[in-house]
Amino acid sequence: MKKYLFSLAFLASGIAMGQNKMTPELLWSLQRVSGNTVSKDGKSLYFSSKKYDWKTEKSKTYSFKINLATGKKSKFNGADGKTIVQQSASVWYAIDDQFIYKSEDNGTSWSNVRAIIKDADNYSISPNGKYLAYSKEVLVVPTNGKDIYKDLDKTTAQVYTDLNYRHWDKWSDGKFNHVFIEPMKGGAAKDIMKDEPFDSPQKPFGGAEDFAWAPNSDGLVYVCKKKYGKEYAQSTNTDLYYYNLNNGSTQNWTEGMNGYDMSPTFSPDGKYIAWLSMKTDGCESDKNDIVVLDVAKNQKLNFTANWDETVGSFKWDKNSRDIYFTAPWKGTEQLFSVSIFDNLMVKMLPHVRQITDGKFDITGIVGQSNDDELIVSRTDWNHATELFAVNTDDGKMGALTHENDATYESIKMSKVSSRMIKTSDGKKMFAWVIYPPNFDPKKKYPTLLYCQGGPQSALSQFYSFRWNFQLMAAQGYIVIAPNRRGMPGWGVEWNAAISKDWGGQPMRDYLAAIDDISKESYVDKNRLGCVGASYGGYSVYMLAGMHEGRFKTFIAHDGLFDLKSWYGTTEELWFANWDIGGNYWSKPQPKSYEQFNPSNFIDKWNTPIMIVQGGIDFRVPVEQGLEAFQAAQLKGIKSKLLYLPNENHWVMNPQNGLAWQREFYKWLDETLK
């Protein structure tokens, strides 16, 4: 590991020699690094780097190979425009827009195996190379008028008789993701879901991780929520189904497990299968555990049942006796492990071992280079994603990629610190504080309270290309980002405390944070702002009616303004039912609609507010932003609406992203500086 230590020290220092500051344009010019795979012999790392041209809104992706012994990087041209979809033993598979290819020399040369399937996605080849699995949309429930009435080919009518008629940013067209299997050499394709009105992979974000071949190639495990309509919209109960290729039968391997069961992954020796599992139906932010099944013995055990945190993602060790995983941990995301051994036989819960610790996030596990080294992706608030080698014995890390080093050397970095804050109920709350470059404690600075979305998502050392604290600090703002109630990394109880109490203690936590930082002499108490998106946007709306003059400006992006109209238009009702407490016509009515509904406190709004709203956001539909803007305007409050008609709950298009940044800082310049 010695060869990596200099670059690690440089990145960890948070200090750069340059004189420039981060700008929105510079932020969008950063290389976006992602790890692809580690060769089976552990000698080579393959990764890709994407760069956007914000003027054309086009991107280019380049593939590279790193010799892990020497650290030498070379361009990986063997794929030649292909997308690598699988690495199995010494065999690789890749696709382009016409064919499936096979390589037996780590991608140096490729042979054409067969043509791709029209409109198919998520290709997966069986371990024995004889079968191809893939997903493809199937029309099951005719919904569009032209599908119902074949003679009306120009009609745009859509007909619905049940819920889940739209999801995330798409209206339902009656088509469902199904898994197909067919011989690699060609032959009849079999829809293993038999025209059912269910999805696998799961919409809207499921992919190839939603199905996995058994190591003996005799069957396939796939993730599916076999519910439809209103039942689907109110449940999180996905299960793992095993399709037997020999007899065509399907078996539910997670029968009686009522929450999310996701990411099935067989151990390298084929003896076990592990997956991520939540216990409670309807609670999408329940504790995520690693469950392991001994396939032959049909014995399963929750390996993290007694661990007071929630799992992010995981990967098997080469020896099939260890599982490495990421998890939120005290304002960061770190690397952990559990050992299998014979725990399943004796029903003994293993010990969770923490491997890394520091002011950074481990955002993913790429692969294993040798018995005591993993390749991971890592970020912190001054650095976008790069790949690192981690010694699994002592947690020491070394940088492998340096795609943005030249940019970092040209700009000044932000100082990042943390503090513990006493909350109104006597608890201790952790908060990150990000300072402007060249921070001078003798000066006074405008300060922003950042409100995290989720609501149950970790506020860790992430690197966002929108909510970027390095960029905020570079514009001269101090940012305080508290780990208020409802955030993982501080125990299951702290994480769960926010449900049905959105506008209660979490709001008092936010006020405690801004009051605490305001005691510092370098904070200008006359220039405090409050910003956030999603639940963070809700928090902005809520605080606008209860801040008692603390803030001089607000910015809310895709926030929930009126809980009644939101309940009537959002799509994943399991979330609303669990976190709000149910529908608004119940007797008695859940208290959220009265006590924690921002629109009920609009009479107390008196502070400038900027509202950002995506036009195809079905999670927090467009009416929420429009209602808030109209209320502010009619009250005569200085307000601005930034409407992004082709954006969902996020901002995905480069020029929209830049417009977002420019309007964000223009508003702060007008109202805070």
CA distance 186 to 188: 7
* 204 prior amide bond cis, ω within 30: yes
* Vertex 349 angle, CA 344 and 350, to 5°: 95
- β-partners of residue 553 are 529
Cα 649 to Cα 619: distance, rounded to the nearest angstrom? 7
- How far is Cα 286 from Cα 278, in angstroms, rounded to an integer? 6
Q: How far is CA 296 from CA 270, 340, 666, in A?
A: 10, 16, 62
Q: Which position among 7, 235, 534, 639 bears the catalytic label?
A: 534
DSSP string of 297-366, one letter each residue: TTEEEETTTT-SS----EEE-TTSSEEEEEEEETTEEEEEEEE-TTHHHHTPPPPPEE---SSSEEEEEE
In the residue annotation, 167 being an active-site residue is answered as: no
Residue 489 has φ and ψ, to the nearest 5°, of 110, -5
Long-range contacts formed by 159-166: CB under 8 A, 24+ apart: 162/228, 162/229, 162/230, 163/229, 163/230, 163/232, 163/233, 163/573, 164/228, 164/229, 164/230, 164/232, 164/233, 164/571, 166/571, 166/618
Say which of 178, 547, 557, 649 is annotated catalytic: 649
Tokens of 673: 């500086």
What's the CA gap between 572 and 101, in Å, rounded? 39
**3-class DSSP assignment, residue 253:** coil
- Distance (Å, whole) CA 123 – CA 213: 11
HSE, side-chain direction, 13 A CA sphere, residue 114: 15
Sequence-distant (≥ 6) Cβ neighbours of residue 150 within 8 angstroms:
none
Length of the chain: 673
Separation between Cα atoms, residue 42 and residue 39, nearest integer Å = 5
Q: Which has the closest alpha carbon to 484: 529, 425, 527?
A: 425
In a 3-state reduction of DSSP, which class is residue 541?
helix
Tokens of 557: 């992006």
Measured from the Cβ of residue 547, the count of other Cβ atoms closer than 10 Å reads 23
Nearest to 331 by CA among 390, 260, 416, 412: 416
Query: Kind and range of the H or E element at 6?
Result: helix 5-13
Q: 416 and 25 in contact (C-beta within 8 Å)?
A: no
Place of tokens 């995506």: 614
Find the catalytic residue in 285, 414, 617, 639: 617
Q: Which residue has the tokens 């020491």?
A: 396
Strand residues in 203-271 grouped as ranges (E): 211-213, 219-224, 239-244, 250-252, 261-266
Interior angle at CA 300, CA 333 and CA 364, nearest 5: 20
- Contact present, 461 and 357 (Cβ < 8 Å): no
Inter-residue contact 65 to 71 (CB < 8 Å): no
Cβ contact 517:480 at 8 Å: yes
Catalytic site includes residue 63: no
**Spatial separation of the C-alpha atoms in residues 189 and 114, rounded to whole Å:** 14
- Is 617 an active-site residue? yes
In Å, how far from its chain's centre is CA 480? 22
Q: Is 75 helix (H, G, I), strand (E, B) or coil?
A: strand
Which residues are catalytically annotated? 534, 617, 649
